[in-house]
Structure 1
Amino acid sequence: MYKAVMAAMVAAVAKSPAGAQTASADTHNIIKWALPNTLSPEARAMAAAMAAAPVPNPEPPLEAQRKFVQDIQEGMGRELAKRHNVRAEQSSIAGVPVRILYPQGVTSLNEGPVLLNLHGGGFQLDSGSLTETIPIAALTGIPVVSVLYRLAPEHPYPAALDDALAVYQALEKDHTASRIAVYGTSAGAGLSGQLLAKLSQLGKPMPAAMGYFSGSADLTTSGDSESWMPLPGGAKTMAESVASYVGKTAPADPILSPLKGDISRFPPTLLVTSTRDILLSPTSIFARALLERGVDARLVVFDGLPHAFWAYMDIPETGEANRLMAGFLKSRLNAGAR
């Protein structure tokens, strides 16, 4: 069953403007390049299947994409929850809908450590509130709260940030900042950086750590990785692809683009990307900027894999990525407990 769901997710990645890197005649299109022999056999097979997946033309309406990705997320979630013995609960915090993922032996959020997840999906879909959280909850033994924030284009910035902030501040009532770690993938990585920038602006204490897994912290520029990998939805620039989220806000706003503000107070941060990731450039640029400002930043780059592969590819590298992510987040939360 899980393999079938994963195969469907591969097709979803090819069809979704939020998660796809689709073929385009006016790009170098790295998807067509031969796969390196550094990949596991499972990764090579799945990456090849993604490259061969047909791209719908025209794209399905956004609501149809949301429904499809939701069905895939829930199908994968059931399999992952069973595999990892994690309980997924639908709830709300501060009036914001959330998923709470409880690892084995944990039955409530109580006053212990907690992980706050901001899922990926191009700010338009939920492509990770289960797949990004269940393995991490299991590997850390720490409950994860995944914020089901409002989506664009119906709700442009700062709606998603307001939801994330509301949930974070509610968690702070029972958990000190040193007992909270924030992480996200893709759009969720960008939103994680925005949340920390907002906390810094408000003069609030920083969480124990941030997991920044393939995102952009500066929506005013385009990185080199955009020039040799196709952009989702036929967009010409990454900024164009998230325009519905940005709305009327200036892209240089220091909360929307944290690199335009003061990031020196950011907590220890793990950044993860891959060489065939369209967000390779902005992720690595952010890592360098954090280091230049004295932040403990660690950049991990996987070889030959596509954007956010850990959220939808059932391959050995996904297990490795999840272990790295979980180990980092847990170690920082343990450090904060002392």
Structure 2
Amino acid sequence: MDYSKLIDDEIWRFIRETDAHYPPDAVNRSAAQQREVYNNMCRAFFAGYPEGLEVRDQTIETVPTRIYEPNDPKGTVAYFHGGGFVVGGLESHDDVCAEIAHETGLRVVSVDYRLCPEHPHPAAFDDALAVVKYVSLTWPKPLVLVGDSAGGNLAAASCHALRGQVQIAGQVLIYPGLGGDLTKGSYIDHAKAPMLSMEDLKFYNAIRYASPPDRPDPTAAPLEDTDFSNLPPTVSITAECDPLADDGRTYRDAILNAGGKAVWFNETGLVHGYLRARHQSTRARRSFERITQQITMLARGEWHH
């Protein structure tokens, strides 16, 4: 794959700046060391808060959260951060969540779910369900689930598990890892992509479990479910230069085949983690605008696809 042609100069600068703070060999460090490096890297891209938000930390059902509240919010977003289930938290996606709240006019609840390897699956999934249930009972509808990377997995897994129990207006999945086939498609074509490689994915998959799974588990890999009916309207937004790209398409197709509403956008020339590049890359900024527009659409109960 010729990334010199697929990726433009702005994203290459973003990649180099990321590598300066988070070197490619960081995956070989301890989980605690990775978290420190990751948080420092995210802080280097921190863009501050928009004006007019009330921000507070709150523990929900033992799970730490950070709540971003605009004036007169029109609904709530439950946001699940990325980081391979190993790194990330309230600080890593702080300004991303603040900007989503500002742009959509929705309350955003950022979820600091438990991380591996100290807390293997299903700890993060259990935390996600607990927060979604609480939010659905605490604030007026609508409720939209949003997540990037590992957080996209948690958003989708929550939608599958809570069908018929919680009313969810929609989900927006940003370069999610949903448990696709590692032997074909984007997993092979982009196995050596900048920002996320197959080597990285294998590390994160191995560290996620106390023991290797011996059967399909939709709570860990939503694409392993056998029923894709009655899911909320779904928007998958992936990066072209990312081994996970095909998960968005495969998930869309599964929902459409089950009679649901789903759409997939594969963002040209973007890489995994591009949310942090939204203030320095035209492509990333346009994709972030798409993300907030799709969240707003779902919260209004609309479907423009």
Q: Same fold (TM over 0.5)?
A: yes
For residue 220 of structure 2, the aligned residue among 256, 260, 284 is 256
Give 1:180 shift.
0.5
Match of 1:3 in 2: none
Report the 3-state secondary structure (helix = DSSP H, G, I; strand = E; otherwise coil) of the residue aligned with 1:67: helix
Tell me if the contact between 1:217 and 1:257 (Cα under 8 Å) persists in the aligned partners. Answer: yes
- The answer to whether the aligner puts 1:188 opposite 2:158 as a matched pair is no
Give 1:86 shift.
3.9
For residue 45 of structure 1, the aligned residue among 13, 25, 29 is 13
For residue 192 of structure 2, the aligned residue among 203, 206, 230 is 230
CA-based RMSD of the aligned residues comes to: 2.9
- The answer to whether the aligner puts 1:298 opposite 2:263 as a matched pair is yes
Match of 2:106 in 1: 142
Deviations 1:262-316 (A, max 9, x none): 1211111111012101211222211111111122111111111111312345322
Give 1:42 shift.
2.8
AA of the residue aligned to 1:115:
V
Mean CA deviation greater in 128-137 or 292-301: 128-137
AA of the residue aligned to 1:217:
L
- The answer to whether the aligner puts 1:334 opposite 2:300 as a matched pair is yes
Give 1:76 shift.
4.1
Q: Partners of 2:156 and 2:58 in 1: how far apart?
A: 24
Tell me if the contact between 1:135 and 1:322 (Cα under 8 Å) persists in the aligned partners. Answer: no
AA of the residue aligned to 1:246:
Y
AA of the residue aligned to 1:70:
N
Matches within 5 A, 1:159-308: 159-175=123-139, 178-200=141-163, 203-218=164-179, 221-228=182-189, 229-230=191-192, 238=201, 241-248=204-211, 249-250=213-214, 252-261=216-225, 262-308=227-273
TM-score (ref. length: structure 1): 0.76
Tell me if the contact between 1:122 and 1:186 (Cα under 8 Å) persists in the aligned partners. Answer: yes
Mean CA deviation greater in 219-228 or 307-316: 219-228
Tell me if the contact between 1:273 and 1:308 (Cα under 8 Å) persists in the aligned partners. Answer: no
Distance 1:220 1:237, change over 3 A: farther
Q: Identity, % of aligned pairs? A: 23
Q: Partners of 2:143 and 2:197 in 1: how far apart?
A: 38
AA of the residue aligned to 1:34:
S
Mean CA deviation greater in 294-303 or 66-75: 66-75
AA of the residue aligned to 2:295:
L
Give 1:140 shift.
0.3
Tell me if the contact between 1:123 and 1:187 (Cα under 8 Å) persists in the aligned partners. Answer: yes
Match of 1:61 in 2: 30
Point out which structure has higher relative CO (alpha carbons under 8 A, 6+ apart). Answer: 1
Q: Partners of 2:274 and 2:153 in 1: how far apart?
A: 17
Mean CA deviation greater in 326-335 or 266-275: 326-335
Match of 1:73 in 2: 42
Tell me if the contact between 2:82 and 2:151 (Cα under 8 Å) persists in the aligned partners. Answer: yes
Give 1:165 shift.
0.8
Tell me if the contact between 2:86 and 2:204 (Cα under 8 Å) persists in the aligned partners. Answer: no
Match of 2:82 in 1: 120
For residue 68 of structure 2, the aligned residue among 101, 108, 112 is 101
Tell me if the contact between 1:100 and 1:146 (Cα under 8 Å) persists in the aligned partners. Answer: yes
Give 1:57 shift.
7.6
Report the 3-state secondary structure (helix = DSSP H, G, I; strand = E; otherwise coil) of the residue aligned with 2:28: coil
Q: Partners of 1:140 and 1:256 in 2: how far apart?
A: 29
* Structure 2 gaps, min length 5: none
Distance 1:253 1:283, change over 3 A: same
Tell me if the contact between 1:226 and 1:237 (Cα under 8 Å) persists in the aligned partners. Answer: no
Tell me if the contact between 2:55 and 2:66 (Cα under 8 Å) persists in the aligned partners. Answer: yes
Deviations 1:76-119 (A, max 9, x none): 44x331x565443222112210111223x35xx7xx51000010
Deviations 1:35-84 (A, max 9, x none): 347x4x5335334666898644883322122112223434544x331x56
Q: Partners of 1:35 and 1:307 in 2: how far apart?
A: 17
* Structure 1 gaps, min length 5: 1-29
Give 1:238 shift.
3.9
Report the 3-state secondary structure (helix = DSSP H, G, I; strand = E; otherwise coil) of the residue aligned with 1:100: strand
